[in-house]
Structure formats: structure tokens, C-alpha cells
Structure 1
Amino acid sequence: MSKLSITGIIAAIIVIISAFLPWLTIESKGLTFTGLDTKGSSFGEPAILNIALAVFCIVLLLVNKRPAVLAALFCATLLTAWSFRNLLLFSRCEMGECPHREAGLFLSLVGAIAVLVCVLFQKGPAKRA
């Protein structure tokens, strides 16, 4: 297993951990949202897909076959896009009230980008001659 695979697995674990950290606080209402706990809003639970994609990326990074590398690329790209979507969705201002973004939201995006970079630069399986 290469160093990039190990780094990608660690980054995917960071994405999973960030789902449980605070993503957003609305000070006027006294609400704190995580990726899995958004009671009192219409955000849903966007971190469920983050966790599922991160686990899938971990499994695919452990397998060093050509189809797994291509699937990992698709999965990491989707994870990064979904994390960026969450950043845009959670950090927007509504009705003159701007929420305070917390570290978990940014950590999710940074971890997803790290997974994508590790998958992009990962060497595929050796070709047989």
C-alpha cells in the first residue's frame, strides 16, 4: 500500500469525523448544527452521504485494481462536490441572518479535497507485459 493510499484513508476518516463536529451556529436562535443533527432547519442530514462516500473511498483505496482506481476517482470527485455543496448550502445568509460557520464544515471540505488529490496521484496497478 502506497503512502498516498494511507493519506487518502486518513483524509476519508477525517471526513467521517467532521460529520459529528459542529458545522454551523445560529446565535440569535441558539442553534448548533452538525452534519447529522440539523433539527430546527430544513437542511436534512447531508453528512450521511459524506460518510457513505468516505467509507466507499476507503474500501476502494484498499483495493489496487484498475476498476477500483476508476471507481475511487468517481467516488472522491462526488465526495468533493457534495462537500462543496454543503459548504455553500450551510453558509448562506437567509432573511438578513448570517450563520457562523464552524470548523467541521471546513474540515469536511478539506478532507474531501485531500481524498481527491490522493486518488488522482495514486499509481494504478502494474501492467502485465
Structure 2
Amino acid sequence: MTKTSIIGIVSAVMVIISAFLPWITVESRHFLFTGLQTTGSAFGQPGILNIILATIAVILFGLNKTWTFRVNIFIAGFLMAWTFRNYLIFSRCEAGECPDQKIGLYLSLIGGILCFVCVVLNRQKPKENKNGL
């Protein structure tokens, strides 16, 4: 396993952990939102998709096949885009009221970007089967 695979696994685990940490607080309404707990808003639960995509990325980083590298590029790219979308939606001001951003939102974004960078920079040659799979 290469260093980029290990860093990719750590960054995907960081995305999973950040789904449980506080993302934002809205002081006027006394709301604290995490990736999984967004009651009182129309945000949904974006942390569930973060956890699913990061778990798939961890599994694909551990396998050493050609198809896993190709699939992991899509999964990590989608994870990065999803965490960036969450950052934009959760950190925006509405009706002149700006939420206080917390560490979970930043860790999620950094973990998603780092996971994608590790997939792109992974230089390990995958083992080929006789069938080419």
C-alpha cells in the first residue's frame, strides 16, 4: 500500500468522523447542526452520503485492481463535490443571518479534497488479472 493510499484512507475516515461533529450554529434560533442532525432546517442529512461515499473510498483504496482505481476516481470526485456543496449550502447567509461555522464543516471539506488528490496522485501500478480485470 502506498503513502497516497494511506493518506487517502485517513482523509476518508476524517470525512466520516466530521459527519458527527458540529458544522454550524445559528445563534438567534439556538440551533446546532451536524452532518446527521439538521432538525429545524431544510438541509436534509448530507452526512449520510458523506459516510457512504467515504466508506466506499476506503474499501477501494485498500484493493489493488485496475477497476478499483477507475471507480475510486469517480467516488472520490463525487465525495469532493458533495463536501464542497455542503460547505456552500451550510455556510451561506440567509435573511441577513450568518451562521457560525464549526470545525466539522471544514474537516469534511478538507477530507474530501484530500481524498480526491490522493486518488489522482496514486502512482501504484495495479495488478492485472489474466482477463484484464
Partner of residue 10, structure 1:
10
In structure 1, distance between residues paired with 2:33 and 2:75: 26
Match of 1:43 in 2: 43
Match of 1:118 in 2: 118
SS in 2 for 1:24: strand
Residue in 1 that maps onto 2:107: 107
Instruction: In structure 2, list runs of 5 or more residues that go unmatched.
Output: none
- Percentage identity across paired residues of the two chains: 52
Q: Distance in 1 between matches of 2:89 and 2:72?
A: 25
What is aligned with 1:26?
26
The answer for the alignment partner of 1:65 in structure 2 is 65
Match of 2:52 in 1: 52
Ranges in structure 1 where 5+ consecutive residues have no aligned partner = none
Q: CA deviation at 1:127?
A: 6.3
TM-score, scaled relative to structure 1: 0.96
Post-superposition Cα deviations, 1:57-108, rounded to whole Å, max 9, x if no partner, equal: 0010011111100100000000000000000000111111111111100100
Q: Please report how far the alpha carbon of residue 126 of structure 1 lies from its aligned counterpart in structure 2 after TM superposition.
A: 5.2
| Backbone CA RMSD of aligned residues | 1.2
**For residues 26-53 of structure 1, what are the alpha-carbon distances to aligned partners after superposition, in whole Å with 9 as ceiling and x for unaligned?**
0011110000000111100001000000
How far off its partner does 1:4 sit? 0.9
Secondary structure, counterpart of 1:17 in structure 2 = helix
TM-score, structure 2 normalization: 0.93
